[in-house]
Amino acid sequence: MKVLIPSSLRSYTQHSEAEASGATLAAVLADLDRAYPGIRFRMVDEQSRIRRHIRIFVNGDQVRDLSQPLRATDEVVIVQALSGG
Amino acid sequence: MAHKIRKRTARPQGAASRTRRAPRSQPARRVLVLVATRKGAWLYHGDATRKTWRVDGPHFLGHIISHLVLDPRDGRTLLAAAKTGHLGPTVFRSTDLGRTWKEAARPPAFAPAPAGENGRAVDHTFWLTPGHSAEPNTWYAGTSPQGLFRSEDGGVTWNPFSSINDDPRYRAWMGTVQDGTPDGPKLHSIIVDPRDSRHLYFAMSGGGVHESVDGGRTFTPIVKGLEVVEGFDATNISFHDPHCVRLCPSNPDRLYQQNHCGIYRLDRPSNEWVRIGKNMPKRVGDVGFPLVVHPRDADTAWVFPMDASTVWPRTSPEGIPAVYVTRNGGKTWQRLDSGMPERQGWWTVKRQAMTADAQDPVGLYFGTTSGELWTSRDEGRRWACIARHLPEIYAVEAAELA
C-alpha cells in the first residue's frame, strides 16, 4: 500500500511516498523498516508506543493502535505533529 | 546590593606562573572543537596556535544534538547523540570527521517491558563516553530517562548495560520524570578509570554518584559528604543531584564534582566527598553545571559559577560572567574573566558545555545557552569569543588531531 512520508523522515526514503505491505499497521511499519532501516524507531518507541509528536492516519482517520488491521488498498499517512520551537 | 562583584584587573595568581612556562617542544597537534546544540552540530578546526578557527557546519541542522564526541583511540570516529522535536532518539556515526554520517543500526533503547507493564523509552541519549584504551570500539551512553548502555562495535549497535536500568532499587533512586532536570532526568558523567577498564563511575540527575569495580556488573552509591537541598534527607540517594563529575587523568584517584549543592573533591580510596566550594567567594557561591579538570595537574580545576538564589536564575551571578580556577585542589579559587563582558552578561553554561584541550598551556572552551563559543589559550587568563549567534549550546568537546 501507499505510505506518505513526512519531510522529517525523507532522509530515509528519499521520496514523499513509499510502498509497504502488511496486514496490520505494525506489520506495515516493520516492512517499511526493512526497506529503510531505522525509520520505525524514529516513530515508535521500544515499548511499541507511537511517539508523542507522530500521528498516523489511515484513509483520513487517526490510528493509535499498531494492531489496527489494514487492507492493501488503504492509504497510510504519517505526519509530524506540533512540537514547539 | 551591598557587595558588587568587581572584575579582576590584576592577573590572577597561580595562572601567571604556569602560563609563563615555555610550551613543550612537540609537533603542534591541531585542536578540533565539537559543538553540540539544540539545532545541530558545528565543528571548529583550530590553526596551530589556536588563534583562528575554521567552521564546519551545521551538521544535522534542526536536530537536537546532546553530545558530539571524537574517539581519542582512533582520532577519527565521531559519535553524535541526536533526536528532533518529532522523531525518536538515535546515534549517528562518522569515520571521516563528519564528511559523511551513518545512523546506528540499533540505537540505545530499553528492553521491552513484560506485557501489561508500562516500560520506559529512551527520550534522548544525553552522554557519550569512549571506553577504555585497551577496549577499542567500546563506548558507553547515558540516557534520559536514566539508563546506561554500551556498544562494542564503535557505536553501531547498543545494548542495555549492567543491571541498573531495571534494578528496582536503582529505579527508585532514579525517581520519575518529575524528579529530574527540566528536559528529563539524566544519566551522565560516565567515567572509565584509565588504569582499569572494570572500574567505572556514573552520575544521575537526580540519583547520586555510583561506582563499579567489577566491570559494571554491580554498582554502589558513593555520596558520603555530599549535601542535598535543605530539609531533605541526605541518606536518600534519589535526593542527590550531581551536575558533573570528572576524574583527573594525571591522578585517577582524584575526582571533582560540581553538584546542585556545591563543588566537591574526592581522593580515593576515601569514600567521602569534601566540599571545596566553601572556599569560593560567598557572593558568587559554588553552584554551577560544568567542571573541567587539568590534563596534567590534578590540583587544577575550573568551574563556571551561576546564580542559585531565589528562583534559581542559573545565570552568571549579577550578570558578570566568570570562570573560577583552583590551583591547589580547592583550597583557594581565583576569578578568570578577562575579555568577558563587564556587565549585562546573563550567561548559562550547561554541564557538558565547558572543556579543556590537552595542550600546554591548556586551552579552555565553553559555550553558552545564548549561542556564544568562548576560548582561552592560556588556561583562562584571557578569553575571546570565537562564535556567536549559534543555537543553544548543549555540549562542547575539544579533541586533538594528529
pLDDT tens-digit series, residues B70-96: 999 999 999 999 999 999 999 999 999
Query: Looking at residue B22, what is its pLDDT?
Result: 45
Using a CB-CB distance cutoff of 8 angstroms, which residues of chain B are in contact with residue A33?
A: none
CA-CA distance, B353 to B367, in Å (whole number)?
Answer: 5
Asked if the structure places residue A85 within a domain, the reply is no
Decide if A53 and B103 are in contact by the 8 Å CB cutoff.
no
d(CA B44, CA B367): 12
Selected from 3.90.1300.10, 2.130.10.10, 2.60.120.10, 3.30.365.10, the CATH number assigned to the domain covering B31-109+121-401 reads 2.130.10.10
Ramachandran category for residue B129: left, alpha or beta (phi over 0 → left; psi -120 to 50 → alpha)? beta
A73 domain residue, yes or no: yes
To test the contact with chain B by mutation, choose from A41, A52, A78, A80 the residue with the greatest count of B C-beta atoms within 10 A, namely A41
Return the residue of B nearest to A37 by Cα. B105
CB neighbour list of residue B6: distance below 8 Å, 6 or more residues apart: none
A with B: how many residue pairs have Cβ under 8 Å apart? 56
Do the chains contact at A83 and B110, CB–CB below 8 Å?
A: no
Inter-chain touch A47–B110, beta carbons under 8 Å: yes
Residue among A6, A49, A83 minimizing CB distance to B85: A83
Whole-number pLDDT of residue B217: 95
pLDDT at B115: 87
CB atoms within 10 A of CB A30: 15
Look up the domain containing A27 and give its range.
Answer: 2-80
Our CA-based measurement puts residue B167 at a distance from the nearest CA of chain A, in whole angstroms, of 18
pLDDT tens-place string over residues A21-68: 999 999 999 999 999 999 999 999 999 999 999 999 999 999 999 999
The reported pLDDT for the residue numbered B303 is 98
Q: A15 lies in a domain?
A: yes
ipTM: 0.91
pLDDT of amino acid B63: 97
Per residue in B360-380, is it b (16+ CB within 10 Å) or e — as a string? Answer: bbbbbbbbbbbbbbbbbbbbb
| Cell matching residue B43 | 565543528
**Cβ contact A9–B87 (<8 Å):** yes
Report pLDDT for B162.
87
Q: Do A47 and B87 touch (CB under 8 A)?
A: no
Determine contact, residues B162/B219, Cβ cutoff 8 Å: yes
Grid coordinates of B265: 573533591
Measured between alpha carbons, how far is B349 from B5 in angstroms, rounded to an integer? 19
Give the number of other Cβ atoms within 10 Å of residue B92's Cβ: 22
Neighbours of A47 (CB within 10 A): 15
B90 touches chain A (CB under 8 A): yes
d(CA B82, CA B160): 18
Neighbours of B213 (CB within 10 A): 14
Question: Per-domain residue ranges for chain B?
Answer: 31-109+121-401
Model pLDDT, residue B21:
46
Question: With contacts defined as CB-CB under 8 Å, which chain B residues touch A6?
Answer: 86
Q: Which pLDDT value is given to residue B142?
A: 98
Q: What is the pLDDT of residue A81?
A: 85
Which of these, A47, A30, A51, A63, lies nearest to B89 by C-alpha position?
A: A51
Q: Mark yes or no for CB contact A47/B118 under 8 Å.
A: yes
Tell me how far apart the alpha carbons of residues A8 and B292 are, in angstroms, rounded to a whole number. 36
Domains in chain A, number: 1
Res B333: pLDDT:
98
Which residue of chain A has the CA closest to B119? A47
6-65 of A, contacting B, C-beta below 8 A? 6, 8-9, 37-38, 41-49, 51, 53-54
Which residue ranges of chain B lie beneath pLDDT 70?
1-28, 402
Would you state the torsion angle of the CA atoms of residues B130, B131, B135, B137, taken in this order, to the nearest 10 degrees?
-40
Task: Closest CB to B110: pick one of A8, A38, A46.
Answer: A46
The CATH code of the domain that includes A76 is 3.10.20.30
